[in-house]
């Protein structure tokens, strides 16, 4: 998108005017104070190696180096004219940030200052940034944000485009970053206003545009990357609950490597279906839905219960003559949910299965990341996270989260009419949000209560 010839021709004129920090807006009266403020926002770790992508004449890096001598800078610019004016003593590379000529995981920070606006393919630019960042590295962007109008005039006159803040964040998330913070700023100096011959034209170009900064982190996916390197056929078990959603979005850089499986028992909450729909929109493709039949399980084996009187089990009914069939909650889940899912995954030849399992959910974890069962390795990307950390991650990054949790449920229910899992908060949620389903649920719960009380009475 950038007109390289125009940049090369304009650079000497700008330098002659004493302009070395080539930003459209300054957040302070002087270039030095402006860059000091940006350095404070960026706040790189001690000793960080910083890639200045589209570095101009390297003045931003020079000022930052004066403020923080511990930092090292790599200056990348496609313009040889600008690169020749960069400070001596810093590594200077002639190249394009769309194809960064650096090794994988070789820098700690990538910063774009009024450079990402020139990216013809922002997704490609951000993927390159992530590629060269080390685990736990950071991405810092200082650029223009567009809340109204269009980029037609800006592209025509400046070879640049101001991105809507949500679009830029979405692109960074697609590239595998985690959003940390963003700020809109009131400019102290509007340099392009001084450059434009017509103030009316300036107002047309920059209508709905304001300067902004964004900071993202690049999560350390070391064990995850190793697991993906070991396998070709990888499946993700997606329930639509918050844990599996968080794990799925954490693995966004690997979406093209995974088959995402989702089992619909036939009695699914509409809230869960909405989460699945939003995930499909973000993925740009449908998930692989496996159709379950919990109605058949209930018909053949009975209602699920957390307490099952012996008289209501298959053998007990032959002795007691009781008509009501009851089944334990884990057996019901196995028949309606886990078995059909497992059968499909095995039929597809999956060798690595990824789940959103967390240690906090188990007193004794049945399996850990790296364990192998039935020829499949398991991977639990968020096994050490707490429930609060999961919710915070989803909320901060704008990922979908079912409303069950904020309304009192401990976990996302799989089936609306399930009469087990009494501790998950289903009854109150159904009562408040699905009254018709709640009536059917209440009737079934009364049936179960009668059978439990009858059996319990023998203890008196």
Of the candidates 84, 189, 89, 176, the one whose C-alpha atom is nearest the C-alpha of residue 137 is 176
Q: Give the tens place of pLDDT for each residue, 430-445.
A: 999 999 999 999 999 9
Average pLDDT over residues 348-360: 94
Cα Rg, the chain, nearest whole Å: 29
In the chain, domain spans: 4-217, 223-459
Q: Is the pTM of this model over 0.75?
A: no
Residue with tokens 């302009």: 19
Average pLDDT over residues 383-390: 93
Fold of 223-459: Rossmann fold (3.40.50)
**398 pLDDT exceeds 70?**
yes
**237 pLDDT exceeds 90?**
yes
With beta carbons less than 8 A apart as the criterion, state whether 23 and 34 touch: yes
pLDDT band at 7 (very low <50, low <70, confident <90, very high): confident
- pLDDT at residue 123 in the model: 92
- pLDDT at residue 28 in the model: 96
CA distances from 429 to 31, 269, 278 (A): 56, 11, 22
**1 pLDDT exceeds 70?**
no
CA distances from 451 to 271, 295, 438, 445, 458 (A): 32, 21, 20, 10, 12
The residues, any chain, with a CB within 8 Å of residue 248's CB and separated by 6 or more, are: 236, 238, 260, 279, 356
Q: What counts of helices (H) and strands (E) characterise the chain?
A: 19, 17
> Could you tell me what percent of the chain has a pLDDT over 70?
99
Average pLDDT over residues 120-149: 93
Residue 32 tokens read as 């030095």
**342 pLDDT exceeds 70?**
yes
Do the bridges between strand 91-94 and strand 49-53 make them parallel or antiparallel, or are there none, so unpaired? unpaired
- pLDDT at residue 363 in the model: 79
Q: Give the tens place of pLDDT for each residue, 363-384.
A: 787 788 888 888 899 999 999 9
**143 pLDDT exceeds 70?**
yes
Rounded CA gap, 246 and 204, in Å?
42
> Could you tell me what percent of the chain has a pLDDT over 90?
75
- pLDDT at residue 233 in the model: 95
**161 pLDDT exceeds 80?**
yes
With beta carbons less than 8 A apart as the criterion, state whether 41 and 140 touch: yes
Residue 345 tokens read as 């995954």
Average pLDDT over residues 110-128: 94
Fold of 4-217: Rossmann fold (3.40.50)
Rounded CA gap, 458 and 460, in Å?
5
CA distances from 212 to 52, 130, 407 (A): 18, 21, 35
| Topology alike, domains 4-217 and 223-459 | yes
Mean pLDDT of the chain: 93
C-alpha angle 342-345-351 in degrees, rounded to nearest 5: 110
**343 pLDDT exceeds 80?**
yes
**245 pLDDT exceeds 80?**
yes
Q: Give the tens place of pLDDT for each residue, 270-292.
A: 999 999 999 999 999 999 999 99
């Amino acid at each position: 998108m950038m007109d390289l010839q125009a940049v090369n021709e304009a650079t000497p004129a700008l330098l002659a005017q004493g302009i070395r920090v080539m930003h459209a807006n300054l957040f302070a009266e002087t270039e030095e104070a402006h860059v000091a403020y940006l350095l404070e926002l960026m706040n790189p770790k001690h000793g960080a190696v910083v890639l200045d992508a589209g570095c101009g004449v390297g003045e931003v890096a020079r000022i930052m180096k004066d403020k923080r001598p511990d930092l090292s800078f790599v200056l990348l610019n496609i313009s040889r004219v600008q690169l020749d004016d960069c400070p001596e003593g810093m590594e200077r590379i002639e190249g394009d940030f769309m194809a960064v000529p650096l090794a994988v995981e070789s820098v700690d920070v990538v910063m774009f200052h009024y450079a990402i606006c020139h990216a013809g393919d922002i997704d490609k630019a951000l993927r390159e940034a992530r590629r060269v960042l080390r685990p736990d590295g950071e991405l810092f962007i200082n650029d223009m944000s567009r809340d109204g109008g269009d980029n037609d005039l800006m592209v025509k006159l400046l070879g640049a485009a101001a991105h809507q803040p949500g679009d830029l964040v979405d692109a960074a998330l697609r590239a595998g970053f985690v959003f940390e913070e963003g700020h809109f700023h009131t400019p102290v100096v509007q340099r392009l206003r001084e450059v434009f011959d017509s103030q009316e034209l300036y107002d047309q170009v920059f209508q709905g545009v304001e300067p902004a900064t964004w900071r993202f982190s690049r999560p350390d996916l070391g064990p995850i990357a190793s697991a993906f390197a070991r396998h070709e056929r990888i499946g993700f078990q997606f329930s639509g609950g918050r844990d599996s959603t968080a794990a799925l979005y954490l693995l966004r850089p690997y979406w093209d490597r995974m088959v995402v499986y989702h089992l619909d028992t036939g009695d699914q909450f509409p809230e869960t279906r909405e989460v699945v729909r939003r995930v499909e929109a973000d993925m740009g493709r449908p998930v692989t839905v496996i159709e379950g039949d919990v109605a058949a399980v209930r018909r053949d084996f009975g209602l699920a219960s957390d307490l099952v009187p012996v008289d209501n089990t298959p053998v007990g009914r032959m002795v007691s003559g009781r008509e009501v069939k009851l089944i334990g909650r884990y057996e019901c889940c196995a028949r309606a949910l886990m078995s059909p899912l497992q059968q499909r995954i095995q039929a597809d030849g999956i060798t690595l299965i990824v789940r959103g399992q967390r240690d906090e959910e188990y007193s004794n974890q049945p399996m850990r990341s790296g364990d192998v069962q039935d020829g499949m390795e398991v991977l639990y990307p968020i096994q050490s996270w707490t429930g609060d950390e999961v919710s915070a991650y989803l909320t901060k990054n704008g990922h979908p989260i079912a409303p069950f949790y904020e309304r009192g449920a401990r976990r996302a229910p799989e089936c609306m009419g399930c009469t087990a899992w009494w501790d998950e908060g289903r009854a109150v949620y159904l009562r408040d949000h699905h009254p018709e389903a709640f009536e059917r649920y209440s009737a079934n719960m009364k049936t179960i209560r009668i059978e439990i009380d009858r059996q319990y009475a023998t203890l008196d």
